[in-house]
Amino acid sequence: MAFKAKSASETKAAELASALIRIADREQAPLTIGIDQLRQGNPRLTPLAIGQTFRKHRDVLEDALAARGYSLVDYADQGPGRGMAFEIGAG
Task: Encode burial over 50-85: b for 16+ CB neighbours within 10 A, e otherwise.
Answer: bbebbeebeebbeebbeeeebebeebebeeeeeebb
**Count of the separate structural domains present in the chain:** 1
Q: Is 60 part of any domain?
A: yes
Q: Can you give the pLDDT at residue 46?
A: 83
Domain assignment present for residue 47? The answer is yes
Give CA–CA dist 44/49, Å, rounded: 8
- Domain of 26 in residue numbering reads as 9-90
In a domain? residue 3: no
What integer pLDDT is reported at residue 10 of this predicted model? 82
pLDDT digits 0-9 by tens, 28-83: 878 888 888 888 878 888 888 888 888 899 998 899 999 999 998 988 877 655 57
Using one digit for the tens of pLDDT, what is the confidence trace for 6-29?
A: 778 888 888 888 898 899 889 887
pLDDT at 70: 92
What pLDDT shows up at residue 36? 84
Nearest to 58 by CA among 12, 25, 23, 22: 12
Residue 22 domain-assigned?
A: yes
CATH number at residue 18: 1.10.10
Q: Is residue 61 part of a domain?
A: yes
pLDDT score, position 80: 59
pTM: 0.82
